[in-house]
Homo-oligomer: A and B are copies of this chain.
């Protein structure tokens, strides 16, 4: 195998464990003599095209370990999808810097970029080891049981909804919480992990996997409110109508280079839904919060399992690139069958994780379409780890005098 330099980049929305993957890859790379310089590309594809690299061998071990525990992409990120011309340029840059080991941490868009660059290398007979390292709080990568970043974001959502449900119990009303997830509702579904008592919120859960009807939504909320005197709703930012038009898209015109409409960083969807409830029902106290960027970047809240697996996929990508049979691929997380949670890691072809989105499977969604099933809870619980233990007053009523 060719001796040469390594380049690593981070792409897409950050997570609180994406730097675990970065540090896992760097530390593994340091153990191999075939790898010369270890370059980091600043802001993903943008940094590659601008040849904006830093020398990762100059970083101390102590600082790297602190960085592993630091949220958001330490190298900087970008949502840049390279054009065909740019892919050709990337290839020229890799040659110029004698880069033989290429790693790109990101979601399915990033896997696609990596796939295109790999194809270029094959086409021109350039010996390149080209690996994608999975990351996304959306948990929507094909081939994976789950993705690094999801467990920690799900833990944030569960803790937030747990507190919010208690808040809504204390000051009853309708509370709508808008949760990240453009096409896949895994993160919104994770809100269900917050339940401790049978009447705990989220009382309703709306995922992008089911068509959203505002009329049905208002009727659902009213029914819960009539029964419990309160209602906590978890809504995915990506909910769409019967025609597949995102409800939030009506309020935003901003589009990135992947053609994605801005959904986060605005409270518009939550406010719209709250207004509809006020308009169509007699409920007066209606509030909406949009969890926003906190879900993916909140400092100090991490799922231990998630952090460990994120480190492992980074480490294994480098290992596989150096010792594996295949010159390219992505590291997928597979769950072992059995009651006790355990995973294996496997190299899969880049094409298999590119572009396409994995959706919440049907058996995870209740028949009513506004809740999740026990199968989902069993799936998600080990990924999140321990949640806060809460109590509730027995509340023995005093007889009125």
Contact = CB atoms under 8 A, between A and B. Distances in A.
Interface of A: 10, 13-14, 16, 37, 39-40, 42-43, 51-56, 58-60, 63-79, 96-97, 159-160, 162-164, 166-167, 169-172, 175, 194, 264-268, 270-271, 274, 286-294, 296-301, 387-398, 400-401
Given A76-B170, A169-B72, A294-B164, A66 B389 contact: yes
A195 to B, nearest CB: 12
Given A16-B163, A300-B388, A54 B266 contact: no
Q: Which label, helix, strand, loop or mixed, suits the secondary structure of the A interface?
A: loop
Contact of A159 (B51, B97, B194, B299): B299
B398 A63 contact: no
B288 A267 contact: yes
Contacts of A73: 170-171
A37 B297 contact: no
A310 to B, nearest CB: 16
A394 B265 CA distance: 29
Given A163-B297, A397-B53, A398-B53, A389 B69 contact: yes
Q: How many copies, total?
A: 2
A65 to B, nearest CB: 8
A52 to B, nearest CB: 8
A293 B264 CA distance: 18
A343 to B, nearest CB: 25
7 smallest CB-CB distances across A and B, nearest first, come from A267-B267, A265-B287, A66-B391, A289-B292, A163-B297, A72-B166, A300-B388
Contacts of A14: 166-167, 170-171
Given A170-B76, A288-B265, A393 B67 contact: yes
Nearest to A68: B391
Residue of A169, A170, A388 with most partner-chain B CB within 10 A: A170
A387 B71 CA distance: 13
Contact of A289 (B59, B167, B293, B300): B293
Given A163-B297, A289-B294, A401-B96, A391 B78 contact: no
A298 B160 contact: yes
Given A159-B300, A401-B51, A170 B266 contact: no
B71 A167 contact: yes
B66 A390 contact: yes
